[in-house]
Chain A
C-alpha cells in the first residue's frame, strides 16, 4: 500500500514538472511569434529630393520582395506629401508663411547638394528620365499600388501649419504620433532613418 502511494506521488510530481515546462515553452513560443516581422520601417525626416528618392527606392525594392513597408513622414519630409493643386483655408500668418516657403509637393523638392537655385534638381530630373529612373511621382504611384503604408506625423504637421486637406490622395495614408513609429519599428526587421 505505501508503495503505491509513493508511486502516485511520484507521478503527480512529474506531472507538475511537465506542466511547468510546458508553461515555460508556451512563453518562449509566444515571444518568438511576436518577434520581428519581415517589415521595413523608415522614419523620413528630410525633405530633400535625393533623400526622399533614396527612401522610396529602398521601399519599392522591399515591397517587390514582399516585405511590408511602413513609412513615417515627419518634419521637412511633409513637403513631399503636399498636393500642389490643393489649398487649405483658415491658416494663421505663420502657417501661411511656412506654406509659401516650403516646397509645394514632391515635384518641387530641392537637392541637398548642388541644388543651384533649382538648376541641379532640374538636371537630375532630366537625367533620371533619360536613364529610365522612375520619377518621385511614379514612385508614389507604385508605392500606393504595392500597399506601402504612409503615416504622417501629426505633431509636425501642426507645427508647420499643414492641414489634412492639402495632403496628397494616397490610399494608405494615416495620421499618428511618434509612438506609432516606435511600435512599427519595434516589430520590423529593418528600421531606417533619413
Chain B
C-alpha cells in the first residue's frame, strides 16, 4: 500500500506502544487484536525500530495481513488487517 492509502485507511483500533520496548509492542498488539473483528484495521504506534521489522513477521505467523508502515517523526505507524 502507498503512504497515501495507508493514511486514508479506516482504523478500528490504534495501539500506542511508544512507551514500551521489545517485546512490549508485540504483547500489546496481541491483546488489542483480540478486541476487533476479522477484516478490521489495526494500527500500532511504536518508537522501537525493531518493532517495525517484527510486526510484519508477527502478522505472517498469525495470519493477519500486514499493510505497511508510515514513518512519523520519531515513531512508526504500522498497519495491519485482522485475519
Contact = CB atoms under 8 A, between A and B. Distances in A.
Interface in A140-154: 142, 146
Nearest to A38: B61
Interface in A22-69: 57, 60-61, 63-66
Contact of A132 (B19, B29, B30, B54): B19
Interface in B12-65: 19-24, 26-27, 29-30, 54, 58, 61-62
Kindly name the residue among B20, B23, B24, B30 whose own CB sees the greatest number of chain A CB atoms within 10 A: B23
Contacts of B58: 64-65
A85 interface: no
A132 B21 CA distance: 5
B56 to A, nearest CB: 12
A88 interface: no
Interface residues of A, number: 13
A131 interface: yes
Given A64-B29, A64-B30, A57 B23 contact: yes
Contacts of B23: 57, 60-61, 64
Contacts of A57: 22-23
A132 to B, nearest CB: 5
Nearest to B61: A65
A133 interface: yes
A16 to B, nearest CB: 44
Contacts of B61: 65-66
A36 to B, nearest CB: 16
A134 interface: yes
A180 to B, nearest CB: 26
A131 B62 contact: no
Kindly name the residue among B21, B54, B62 whose own CB sees the greatest number of chain A CB atoms within 10 A: B21
Contacts of A142: 27
A64 B20 contact: no
B34 to A, nearest CB: 11
A66 B59 CA distance: 11
Contact of B62 (A61, A63, A66, A146): A66
A-B residue pairs, 9 tightest by C-beta: A64-B26, A61-B23, A133-B21, A64-B30, A132-B20, A60-B23, A132-B21, A65-B61, A132-B19
Interface of A: 57, 60-61, 63-66, 131-134, 142, 146
11 contacts: A60-B23, A60-B26, A61-B54, A64-B58, A66-B30, A66-B62, A132-B24, A133-B20, A133-B22, A134-B24, A142-B27
